[in-house]
Amino acid sequence: MPYKRYDVRNKYNHRGRRVNERMGLKVLFLFLIPVLIVLVVLLGVYLGYNAEMKQRPKLPAPATVDEADTVSDEQLLHIVNEHYPLEADYEPELVSFGGIRVAKVAFESLDDLIKDAASQGITITVKKGYVSYSEQEKLFDETFKKVKKDNDYSEIKAESETMKICPRAGCSENQTGMLLSFATDEKGDFAKTRAGKWLEKYSVNYGFVLRYPEGEEGNTGLTYAPDVYRYVGEEHALNMRRFDMILESYSYHVTIR
């Protein structure tokens, strides 16, 4: 039997073999296995988050009219709601249109729309445009109190019903300056007026689309509003009309292609 050197630092069994000769390897495995498990879990979380962020449209810095030909799809088609809110300090490049603040990128198209309608004897005015975060916050609170009082709703029910007609601060596309509410001097339901019918038919030629169509409440999250239009640019507006798509579905299709 070959000579085997014994070391007092080691323990030996009755056959003369070191009991702890593989202890270091065992400790190494016991340490590595939990670490590998944690790394695999973190990698899965990261990949899932990364995939979600790629699908979510991002809002770049606002563009001006001079840069209109370089305005990205993400800006023109950006959806703002409870799931994708805007920061409180976000403010687009704004201009005044008849005393109403609107996104500068939409100014020229809006001006052409109003003038062309007027040339056909149809009066269309803008009654609502950009609304700041603080203004929307105040508007939501006022609407909530009114809904609760008029219907004798509970707090939860009143909040739920309010969100169908008035988004929370940061969750309204009015904060982009590209969501506009139109008005006319005609009486009655806006959708049945000459102005309403003209907008429904020709708005896409100027880059505007009906933002909250009837029957799409489940997708848009807001009730039907025949006088509320969103600027998306002429190309996108015509495509949305061509494919009969609302902004939610069209935006998803464009931004992930």
pLDDT at 215 over 70: yes
What letter would DSSP give residue 208? E
For residue 197, name the pLDDT band (cuts at 50, 70, 90). Answer: very high
pLDDT at residue 207, as a whole number = 98
Give Rg (Cα) of the chain: 30
pLDDT at 217 over 80: yes
**How do 179-183 and 208-212 pair as beta strands?**
unpaired
For residue 230, the domain's CATH number is 3.30.1380.10
pLDDT at residue 37, as a whole number = 80
| Residue range 212-217: mean pLDDT, rounded | 96
d(CA 77, CA 237) in angstroms, rounded, equals 10
Domains: count for the chain: 2
d(CA 69, CA 215) in angstroms, rounded, equals 33
d(CA 116, CA 218) in angstroms, rounded, equals 34
Look at residue 154 and tell me if it is in a domain. Answer: no
Type of residue found at 118: A
Pick the residue with more confidence: 91 or 61?
Answer: 91
For residue 26, name the pLDDT band (cuts at 50, 70, 90). Answer: low
pLDDT at residue 59, as a whole number = 47
Task: Summarize pLDDT for 75-111 with one digit per residue, the tens.
Answer: 899 999 999 999 999 989 999 999 999 999 999 999 9
Together in a domain, 206 and 226: yes
d(CA 146, CA 73) in angstroms, rounded, equals 38
Together in a domain, 118 and 193: yes
Domain extent, residue 232, equals: 61-131+172-255
Look at residue 157 and tell me if it is in a domain. Answer: no
Together in a domain, 123 and 9: no
pLDDT at 246 over 90: yes
For residue 247, the tally of other CB atoms under 10 A from its CB is 23
Together in a domain, 10 and 126: no
| Residue range 27-53: mean pLDDT, rounded | 69
Give the global pTM: 0.73
Look at residue 162 and tell me if it is in a domain. Answer: no
Together in a domain, 122 and 177: yes
Together in a domain, 6 and 33: yes
For residue 18, name the pLDDT band (cuts at 50, 70, 90). Answer: low
Together in a domain, 191 and 211: yes
- Are 105 and 71 in contact by the 8 Å Cβ rule? The answer is yes
Look at residue 123 and tell me if it is in a domain. Answer: yes
Together in a domain, 35 and 123: no
